[in-house]
Amino acid sequence: MKIANMIDEIKDHDHKAWIRRSLYRSLSDCKKRAKRKKITCTLTHDDLDHLMFINFDRCCVTGMKFRRREKEHHLRNPYAPSIDRIDNSIGYNTGNVRIVASCVNNAMNEWGEDIIKEIATSYKNWNTHP
């Protein structure tokens, strides 16, 4: 195996490990939030791993790859994975969650998923004209 290929494999493994650590921290936060709000949280690490696998380690809504970002003036990484409840009236349960980018989750919590679709469509249309 070539050295370059080995380096790429190490980087890929490190990136996937970072995603898992981020998600597992997010799960811990979800469990605390669920307890405080008196809702269920039945998710496991295996559930999160499965969701990442079926979405190819990408945001379920936008398809963006999750990525690390050097700390700048942001307190949180907008590209980090985040657990989103699809129906906020029920808990963090299999079938009611998806993994999305933190910035997407924050926007959807504030304005709903339709605004994300509108922004993405508008951005694409606006920037494809010369």
The topology under which CATH files domain 3-127 is Herpes Virus-1 (3.30.40)
Q: Note the pLDDT tens digit of each residue in 82-119.
A: 999 999 999 999 999 999 999 999 999 999 999 999 99
Q: What does the alpha-carbon distance between residue 94 and residue 110 come to, in Å, rounded to a whole number?
A: 23
pTM comes to 0.85
**pLDDT tens digit string along 26-39?**
999 999 999 999 99
Residues 38/49, Cβ–Cβ less than 8 Å: no
Element at 52 (helix H, strand E): helix 45-54
